[in-house]
Amino acid sequence: MRIQCPICGSRDRREFYYKGDALALKRPAPDAGAEAWDDYVYLRDNPAGWHSELWQHEAGCGAWLVVERNITSHEIRKVTLAEDAT
Amino acid sequence: MVELIAKSACAGLLPLKIGGLLAAEKDLGVLTAIMPFIGQDKAASDMLKAVHGVTLPEAGRVIGDDDTRIIWFGRGQVLLAGPTPSTDLAQVAALSDQSDAWCCVELSGAGAVDVLARLVPIDLRASAFPKGHTARSMIGHMNGSVSCLGSDRFLMMVFRSMAGTLVHELAEAMETVVART
């Protein structure tokens, strides 16, 4: 699997660190309430298909990326810098 | 005051000559990480040009010579190698002295690119990675920086604590490449 880093270009998967769902970028307001925070911290959709994920180019430029990856085929259709995605 | 003698990262480990390949420690001088503040890239580049004669390199590029070299070192970060940085730079960028933090090794000789092909998971052939190109990637299992300084001349940098591992991995790759030629 290769990931197209917007800064470094196409790189091997081993250079990247996987964080989890890109939902982490959508942090609720501190006073959003228990339900919103419960959803943010614990609840994830897990479709057999496209996921939006956070990866870090750890062994490369260090940038955090939002990667759209199909978990059934590992096809990647879009990679953006996390700073541009928020 | 006691005059202390600095011990380099690869003291006692290099140089290493195998076949026509040479791995030697490279003294890059003072190393300073320069991280321009948001929106200050141009100001930092202009100031670097005025004070040290080099501009801010774009991603994946290295500029300069052995006296003053500036290496792209990651997102929003470059490494100035050589001179002590002007304190004026602190107005436009965060500066951090890294002089003793890195192990710097130059690999040269015909076949150097074949040695690195065994260690670095990117295309370093001259067609894709000519002089003036640099990359942050992996060297073996170590995170590091690789720059092309010329034909069959590469600069490798890893964390100083990894110096022994780098020399071991390099020696193994150099031996296997030479054995096949």
Going from N- to C-terminal start, the domains of chain B cover: 16-27+100-179, 30-97
* pLDDT over threshold 90, residue B128: yes
* pLDDT over threshold 80, residue B102: yes
Strand partners, A27: none
Indicate yes or no: CB of A7 within 8 angstroms of CB of B137.
no
Average pLDDT value for residue range B140-164: 96
Residue range B16-27+100-179 forms a domain whose CATH class is alpha beta
Give chain B's mean pLDDT.
Answer: 95
Query: Distance (Å, rounded) from C-alpha A35 to C-alpha A9?
Result: 40
List all residues 6 or more positions away from A54 whose beta carbon is below 8 Å from its beta carbon: A18, A19, A20, A21, A22, A24, A25, A64, A65, A66, A67, A82
CA-based nearest distance A11→chain B, Å? 7
Domain ranges, ordered by start, for chain A:
2-85
Q: Which of A78-82, B4-8, B21-25, B134-138 has the lowest mean pLDDT?
A: B4-8
* pLDDT over threshold 90, residue B2: no
Of A9, A14, A63, which has the smallest distance from its Cβ to B138's Cβ? A14
Instruction: Tally the residues of chain B.
Output: 181
pLDDT digits (tens, 9 = 90+) for B28-75: 999 999 999 999 999 999 999 999 999 999 999 999 999 999 999 999
- Within a 10 A sphere around the Cβ of B143, how many other Cβ atoms? 16
Q: Hey, is the C-beta of A15 within 8 angstroms of any chain B C-beta?
A: yes
CATH T-level topology, domain A2-85: Folate-binding fold (3.30.2270)
* pLDDT over threshold 80, residue B90: yes
- Looking at the structure, give the CATH architecture of the domain made up of residues B30-97: 2-Layer Sandwich (3.30)
Query: Distance (Å, rounded) from C-alpha A10 to C-alpha B139?
Result: 17
Average pLDDT value for residue range B87-116: 96
Q: Which residue has the tokens 């100001």?
A: B43
CA-based nearest distance B142→chain A, Å? 8
Q: Hey, is the C-beta of B59 within 8 angstroms of any chain A C-beta?
A: yes
CB B93 within 8 A of CB B37: yes
* pLDDT over threshold 80, residue A86: no
The amino acid occupying position A31 is D
Q: How confident is the model at residue A85 (pLDDT cuts 50, 70, 90)?
A: confident
pLDDT of residue B44: 95
Q: How confident is the model at residue B181 (pLDDT cuts 50, 70, 90)?
A: confident
pLDDT digits (tens, 9 = 90+) for A43-76: 998 999 999 999 999 999 999 999 999 999 999 9
Indicate yes or no: CB of A59 within 8 angstroms of CB of B136.
yes
